[in-house]
């Protein structure tokens, strides 16, 4: 139990130190950085949705070809 508690404390302290260093070393202002991160996350979500849609279309066509009666 002590080891687990120590591990969780270590994770918390590491996250705190990492976020502080990231904020201090950030090359842009907070508002501009948030805008850039929001834009990147929107692009990432859009890319994932497009990939999922393409995969779904591919799998549907495979399913239809498997369901088609054989000659």
Work out the average pLDDT over 3-9: 88
Q: Say how many CA atoms lie within 13 Å of 21 toward its Cβ.
A: 6
Domain count, the chain: 1
Considering only residues 6 and 26, tell me which one the structure prediction assigns the higher pLDDT: 6
Termini Cα distance of the chain:
66
Q: What is the pLDDT of residue 25?
A: 82
pLDDT of residue 4: 85
| Rounded alpha-carbon distances, angstroms, from residue 26 to 2, 5, 30, 31 | 36, 31, 8, 12
pLDDT, tens digit, for every residue of 28-66?
777 887 888 899 999 999 999 999 999 999 999 999 999
Q: What is the DSSP letter of 23?
A: H
Range of the domain at 6: 2-67
Do the Cβ atoms of 28 and 36 come closer than 8 Å?
yes
State the pLDDT at residue 62: 93
């Amino acid at each position: 139990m002590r080891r687990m508690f120590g591990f969780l404390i270590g994770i918390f302290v590491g996250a705190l130190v990492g976020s502080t260093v990231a904020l201090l070393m950030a090359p842009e202002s907070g508002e501009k950085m948030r805008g850039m991160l929001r834009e990147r996350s929107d692009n990432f979500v859009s890319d994932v949705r497009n990939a999922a849609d393409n995969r779904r279309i591919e799998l549907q066509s495979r399913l239809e070809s498997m369901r088609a009666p054989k000659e």
